[in-house]
């Protein structure tokens, strides 16, 4: 007989570990959402480093006079970024959102150093190849992750906040580099902030950002989506040719990016040829993305309420007037007006095609490369019953709240 005082108390069975339930919506996920806003600001600041200075380096440091050669850095950036955008959605499904974000920052780390040390223009072109990878992976991934977090009701707002953070950072970075270049020369000082941007963006992505693929799975279950996997060729043909609404959205994005490339590559050279000082060139090149970024806080949310078609069409007309202002003007303030109009027009155009395609992909009628994966556990092709009940065109154009 064991004395009562020496008996061992029964050991309770360990409770099963529970994981917190995943909730969709901005209110439930505002901390991670805000963190992704900060990360995307660093992404934008990286590309803002080049807005004022790099087109001028070609002539001042390397003696290049051919506009075609000068713009080669922009061509390399655009091609690589487009390909990175195209495959970001599929890669985000296969390896996760966070690893893709970290990979993008690793590609961006050498960019400012390559431009600082460049002995030839080829180094600058290669730096922009890496910058294209950085922008394509990081920017696309932050978009996907924000859409994962907010769920189906606030996509336009998520896009607007994402683009606001990114392009305000582009603006401030372009402004700072313009002033640094005016005070200290085109290299190396204007690119020192880029080293800090890349390190901070990478550190936040590694240690603070959390994976959001689980949120996409939750939304897919809520929407009752099937798990049939479409072929990539099907998605590409549907979004660029077979469906005229998505074709229109895609061409709107293409034209918008062509305008952006013109401002990035030609406006600094155009203004410098007319004797505008470096700090004032920085002000003009910063005004356009600043107006663009701030405007998207309104246009992104309004596109959820008022629809997207009229915003895209009117925005392109405003862009055309802004481009014309640069062509016909001969002084600083009309050029500032042109930059402002370009920013307003781009704010109307830019978030609405992406928000519309993301909404279309999420509600049961297909997907587009780069965003399809955000809406289902395996990049799923949504269920046919939803497609029968609502067409892509009605989702994108007809509903006042979509």
Confidence (pLDDT) at 45: 96
Confidence (pLDDT) at 115: 96
- Whether 373 has a pLDDT exceeding 50, the answer reads no
Distance of CA 154 to the CA centre of its chain: 17
Confidence (pLDDT) at 6: 52
Q: CA 382 to CA 222: how far, in whole Å?
A: 12
Work out the average pLDDT over 68-86: 86
Which tens digit of pLDDT belongs to each residue from 30-52?
899 999 999 999 999 999 999 89
H/E stretch holding 78 reads helix 72-95
- Whether 14 has a pLDDT exceeding 70, the answer reads no
Which tens digit of pLDDT belongs to each residue from 158-170?
777 887 889 899 9
> Pick the residue with more confidence: 241 or 61?
61
State pTM to two decimals. Answer: 0.78
Work out the average pLDDT over 297-312: 74
Distance of CA 190 to the CA centre of its chain: 23
Token output for 268: 């600094």
User: Could you give the angle at the alpha carbon of 351 between the alpha carbons of 346 and 356, nearest 5°?
Assistant: 135
Work out the average pLDDT over 366-377: 34
- Whether 19 has a pLDDT exceeding 90, the answer reads no
Which tens digit of pLDDT belongs to each residue from 85-112?
888 878 888 889 999 999 999 999 999 9
> Pick the residue with more confidence: 250 or 331?
331
The secondary structure of residue 375, as a DSSP letter, is G
Confidence (pLDDT) at 92: 86
Confidence (pLDDT) at 339: 94
Token output for 348: 């109307």
Confidence (pLDDT) at 254: 79
Work out the average pLDDT over 122-137: 95
Token output for 76: 């390399």
> Pick the residue with more confidence: 134 or 292?
134
């Amino acid at each position: 007989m064991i004395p009562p005082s020496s008996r061992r108390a029964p050991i309770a069975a360990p409770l099963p570990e529970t994981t917190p339930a995943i909730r969709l919506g901005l209110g439930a996920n505002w901390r991670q959402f805000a963190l992704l806003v900060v990360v995307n600001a660093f992404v934008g600041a990286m590309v803002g480093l080049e807005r004022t200075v790099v087109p001028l380096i070609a002539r001042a440091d390397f003696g290049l006079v051919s506009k075609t050669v000068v713009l080669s850095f922009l061509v390399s950036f655009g091609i690589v970024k487009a390909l990175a955008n195209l495959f970001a959605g599929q890669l985000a499904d296969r390896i996760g959102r966070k690893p893709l974000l970290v990979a993008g920052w690793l590609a961006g780390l050498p960019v400012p150093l390559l431009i600082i040390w460049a002995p030839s223009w080829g180094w600058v072109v290669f730096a922009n190849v890496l910058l294209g990878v950085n922008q394509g992976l990081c920017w696309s991934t932050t978009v996907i992750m924000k859409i994962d977090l907010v769920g189906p009701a606030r996509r336009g707002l998520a896009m607007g906040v994402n683009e606001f953070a990114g392009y305000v950072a582009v603006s401030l970075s372009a402004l700072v580099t313009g002033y640094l270049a005016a005070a200290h020369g085109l290299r190396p000082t204007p690119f020192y902030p880029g080293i800090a941007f890349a390190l901070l963006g990478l550190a936040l992505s590694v240690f603070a950002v959390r994976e959001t693929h689980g949120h996409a799975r939750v939304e897919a279950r809520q929407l009752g989506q099937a798990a049939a996997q479409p072929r990539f060729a099907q998605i590409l043909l549907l979004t660029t040719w077979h469906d005229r609404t998505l074709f229109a959205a895609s061409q709107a994005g293409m034209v918008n990016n062509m305008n952006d490339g013109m401002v990035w590559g030609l406006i600094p050279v155009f203004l410098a040829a007319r004797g505008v000082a470096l700090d004032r060139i920085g002000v003009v090149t910063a005004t356009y993305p600043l107006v663009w970024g701030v405007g998207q806080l309104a246009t992104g949310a309004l596109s959820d309420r008022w629809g997207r078609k009229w915003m895209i069409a009117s925005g392109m007309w405003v862009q055309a007037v802004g481009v014309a202002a640069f062509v016909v003007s001969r002084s600083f303030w009309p050029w500032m007006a042109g930059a402002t109009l370009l920013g307003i027009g781009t704010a109307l155009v830019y978030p609405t095609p992406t928000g519309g395609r993301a909404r279309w992909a999420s509600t049961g009628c297909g997907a587009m490369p780069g965003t399809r994966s955000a809406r289902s556990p395996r990049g799923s092709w949504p269920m046919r019953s939803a497609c029968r009940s609502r067409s892509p065109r009605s989702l994108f154009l007809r509903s006042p709240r979509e």
